[in-house]
Amino acid sequence: MSGWATVLASGGINHNVWVIALAGAVSFGVPLTLAALGEILAERSGVLNLGVEGMMLVGAVTAFLVADSTHEPWLPLVAAILAGAALAAVHAFLSITLRANQIVSGLALVIFGSGVARFLGQPVEGEPRGAQILPLRVPGLADLPLVGRVVFQQDVLVYATVVVTAVVAWYLIRTRPGLALRAVGESPATADAAGVAVARVRYAHVIAGGAFAGAAGAYVMLVRAPSWNGEATTDGIGWIALALVVFASWRPWRALAGAVIFGVALRANFTLQAAGIRAVPAEILSMVPYLLTIVVLIALAPTAVRRRAGAPSALGQPYVRDER
């Protein structure tokens, strides 16, 4: 048996820096997936919400403050979900009821969310979190070569995210509310004529999207970040999640796969440094995921291109019932 085969059979490959990096990329992909799934729900209803980063920051600081008080991980997650949903409700009111410009409202949400997070987190900036969600070791599977480290030594929210992705995909394609959602996103006037409550559908899914973003922020705080560090806690991944929605053509499973790819890009800097490869400056490597985000957004900026990619026809368009 060759040396490499011996290492593989013994499970020693699980300590290889590249395998550890892949496992880390899966974990990095969780907040991206959650935020992207929430945005898919919102955009499928025809409402564009650019405030993902702001909602993630509010979710993260809420999770930190609740964890600091309770010293347990699950109540902070619930609190962050509620905080994200509350912030999304503000955007829903502005864009659906008041029919404000959705881009302006979303950007205002980022500024507002960042300000709230900065204000609430300033007294505790740099302090360690009060609780964290630890990885699990699945008995009998965690020590398998390669897949044991990548798949069976993750925290419970990694597995929950896969389940949630499956549920969202099933909801969009197989359920009556999901079909109503897609109808509202494609032609709200037609959906209204068929008896679908357009405003109610949009409100529900924009708020649900905010809940997902809040959960994504909580995951960053309870798993990835050891302390509250202001806006650097989420490090702009809310913007990557927005690009991921377009990259995934508004499809949940593609969003999950794309999140892992972006997770690899986000981990590239640490991985190459750990492997002793310093041919590329660390600053360049840190730019890669954000550069990919810019490229995707520019490439899909034209409306015709977005339509071919699968964008809802009524995305970003307010609906007034009297205009049927």
Over residues 36-47, the mean pLDDT reads: 97
Q: Is the pLDDT at 63 greater than 70, yes or no?
A: yes
Tokens of 268: 């590239």
Q: Is the pLDDT at 206 greater than 80, yes or no?
A: yes
Q: Is the pLDDT at 7 greater than 50, yes or no?
A: no
pLDDT in tens, 208-258: 999 999 999 999 999 988 899 988 889 889 999 998 998 898 999 999 999
Q: What is the pTM of this model?
A: 0.90
What are the two backbone dihedrals, phi and then psi, of residue 155, each rounded to the nearest 5 degrees?
-80, 165
pLDDT in tens, 137-194: 888 888 888 788 888 889 999 999 999 999 999 999 999 999 999 999 999 999 999 9
- Write the CB contacts of 140 (distance below 8 Å, at least 6 apart in sequence): none
Q: Are 152 and 141 in contact (CB under 8 A)?
A: yes
The torsion defined by the Cα of 242, 243, 246 and 248, in degrees rounded to 10, comes to -100
Domains of the chain as residue ranges with CATH: 17-323 (1.10.3470)
Over residues 92-103, the mean pLDDT reads: 95
CA distance 117 to 187: 36
Q: Are 136 and 154 in contact (CB under 8 A)?
A: yes
Q: pLDDT over 90 for what percent of the chain?
A: 61
Over residues 120-132, the mean pLDDT reads: 91
User: With left for phi above 0 and alpha for psi between -120 and 50, is residue 16 left, alpha or beta?
Assistant: beta
pLDDT in tens, 252-298: 999 999 999 888 877 766 666 655 666 666 667 677 777 877 777 67
